[in-house]
Amino acid sequence: MNESCSVEPLAPFRQLVIDGMSLGARKHCIHGLIEVDVTTARERIRQIKEQTGEAFSFTGFLVYCCARAVDEDKHVHAYRDWRNQLVLFDDVDVSLPVERGQAGQPVVLQTVIRAANRKPVADIHREIRALQAKELGDTAWGRWLRWYVLIPGPVRRLFFRLAASRPKILKRFNGTVLVTSVGMYGRVSGWGIPLAGHSLAVTVGGIEAKPVLQDGVVSSRPHLRLTVTFDHDIIDGGPAARFTQRFAELIQAGAGLDEALL
């Protein structure tokens, strides 16, 4: 029997993910799988690149649209505290894991776009690009993570359970909404189903061209696949559906991108 193998240490970020999954597993989530026409948005992003020479962040655009939709109904990013009351934050803080290569290895750099509902899409784009330009050790996230993994696992998970009933602590460390992407890492078009610790999570899938009948003419238009996940303890199907509809409308209209073209 051949038992040859190799051993390598578990990356610190993976330990954090494992702890976060223990929180996500306790939630009663509902998922909506949708497709959104992104023809207009992609065309405007192409125009921005022609004007500036810079590739505009499509993820930043989605963060902008999500935050604006949440701003119209803040219940979708509410959290239940230890008194069994709902806490509704004015600011929509979007947690965004950004993967980049570093020393030949994929490294996740975590950021929280604070008050994304109050920022133009160009500012969100610049925050994401600034993060991508940093080394992990140069970020507060990277320095905190080095200390975090030194704490014994049971203590770390106890912290997560305590933080789950104190929304202001959760907001400070991890934002109020999660936007994560699986579509940018492969060519297979599909949806991702997350195990989310947030009350609202958006998982960005792939883009696929679909035939669309418009003004009697069939044309091929790119459609983005999204999974919108809600904590069903916080929000019911009706409000969730209305949020999802508004989110899709903002994406389809290319919301905020006209300002970036000025």
What is residue 75's predicted lDDT score, i.e. its pLDDT? 94
pLDDT of residue 3: 79
Determine the Cα–Cα distance for residues 10 and 60; give it in Å rounded to an integer: 30
How far is 43 from 64, CA to CA, in rounded Å? 17
* pLDDT tens-digit map of 71-99: 999 999 999 998 889 999 999 999 998 87
Report pLDDT digits (tens) over 109-166.
778 999 999 999 999 999 998 887 777 666 666 677 777 777 887 888 787 777 778 8
Residues 142 and 245: their CA atoms lie apart, in Å, by 36
Structure tokens at 35: 């497709």
- Region label for 82, one of left (φ > 0), alpha (ψ between -120 and 50) or beta (otherwise): alpha
Residue 27: HSE in the Cβ half-sphere, 13 Å Cα cutoff: 28
The encoded tokens of residue 83 equal 């008194």
Two tokens at 200?
């609202």
Question: What H or E segment, with its residue span, contains residue 144?
Answer: helix 140-148
Q: Out of 160-164, 198-202, 205-209, pick the least confident.
A: 160-164
Each residue's pLDDT tens digit, 150-183: 788 788 878 777 777 888 988 988 899 999 987 5
Task: Give the pLDDT band (50/70/90) at residue 101.
Answer: low
For the chain, percent of residues with pLDDT exceeding 90: 48
CB-based contact 34:191 (threshold 8 Å): no
pTM score: 0.87
pLDDT tens digits, 4-61: 898 877 777 777 777 777 777 778 899 999 999 999 999 999 999 998 888 899 999 9
Which band of pLDDT confidence, cut at 50, 70 and 90, is reported for residue 247?
A: very high
pLDDT at residue number 186 = 55
Q: What is the mean pLDDT of residues 218-241?
A: 93
Question: What average pLDDT does this structure show over 221-236?
Answer: 94
Average pLDDT, the chain: 86
